[in-house]
Structure 1
Amino acid sequence: MAVSEPDAASGTRPGPRHVAIIMDGNGRWAQARGRPRLFGHHAGAKRVREIVECCPNLGVKYLTIFAFSTENWKRTQVEVAGLMSLFRRYISKEMNALAAQNVRVRFIGDRVRLDEKLIALMDKLEAKTEGNDGTHLTIALNYGGRDEVARATRRLAQDVAAGKLDPDKVDQETLPKYLDTHVLPDPDLVVRTSGEARISNFLLWQSAYAEYEFIDTLWPDFTGEELGRLCASYGKRDRRFGAVKT
């Protein structure tokens, strides 16, 4: 893992190339306004567009957002159904804009529990943007870090059983090749909004050396300016990856 050198003049390192965001606080944002939780989720979906659009100016090449976790199925049927409807509507509405903005979209997570219409839209958006080379937007949908590692381990074990992989050669570089994120670099910066200080089963393997920011801002109020401040703060951190200065 290469460590970028600080800028000689400013003493800062480059900003994060890959930012991952746990978008939290939609429900509380809505409730504070006397509205139902789904009103907050709709406001949060609109916020995604601004954050995606500001990434190129901030030097953020990869943006990964946590849209729906494997644990979110525990919410009320009304909220879950509303979220699934929102995802379908968001993809349909934003598909052409994302393609025109040169955004490459991928989805990670287990699609087994998702409905066929949503999966078809996900496939269509991925296919429509697969040739784009601007911002790489990854949407974690029905995603859980432990579930991802379990699914990856299952595929790895199947390859060992089939004689495609020598078990004696399995090391820490092997498993990432089986993860949902195998084509992505690890996140440099992980942001969680809404004041909660936990990672909620998000990118467990990939974030081993990420920097974390837990901020009080609720997701619908999160702006490109705030992301810019977080990226600037990241550039001032001393990232040694276990090494020491000589």
Structure 2
Amino acid sequence: MALFLCGNRLHEHLYDTVRLAVYDFDPREMSYFGSGLITYLNNVYVTGLFNPNGISYTSPEIAGLQGSAMMALGGTAGDFQAGRQYSASLRYHLGSLTVDAALYSGNAGGSAASIAIPSVVEFNGRALGASYVFNNLTVKASYVQYKVAGSFNDRVYSGGASYRITPALNVDAGVWVTRDGNNSSNNSILASTGIDYSLSKATVVYGQAGFVTNHGAMHTGLSVNNALDEVTGTTAGVNIGMRHMF
């Protein structure tokens, strides 16, 4: 069970603050194709997406500042460190500018091991992001560190923008550069762009294009759907489709 407080409201779904920062400062809004969601899942899969036995609090915004904190115990009798997770963030908002710094620490094991999609990898994360809105143009940039036990110590630098041409038409683009702090020969560059056109409030047609270049042992993917891990070298992809919400 996971609960959190936001002001005086109680919610059931609980995400860690690094995951929320990755979403907020992703120029392609965590698209399943070519976005910060790929680098997140490549490193930690679902750790931090689910935080059993957790509670968090988000403060009201005061003078542009807003803080959040989360603590989750592992649920293993006699071993409070198994599956223990905590995170915190501090956000500053002034007009069109938003800046956020977040951290996360999670231990393996505990009750997280019993959920449908296991979230048991030991992982420490840090994130720093900023966004600025110029009328219909939104520019975003971020730095995220994924330090995974027994694996990479990845630093992901990203930047990009989205522009709403009309109320129905939006274009976006982003670049994600990943480097392994343990071995600089492991690195990748992911770049993508997309366009969405709303036929109605429920139906959107879209097109996306991107490429990823991997070096060393890095295998950053291009898409969540069957292309989460790509081979060494350069891979390119294009897709078009329609999305309807019922």
Say whether the fold is shared (TM-score over 0.5): no
TM-score normalised by the chain length of structure 2: 0.22
Higher strand share: 2
Q: Which structure has more RCO (C-alpha within 8 Å, separation ≥ 6)? A: 1
Higher helix share: 1
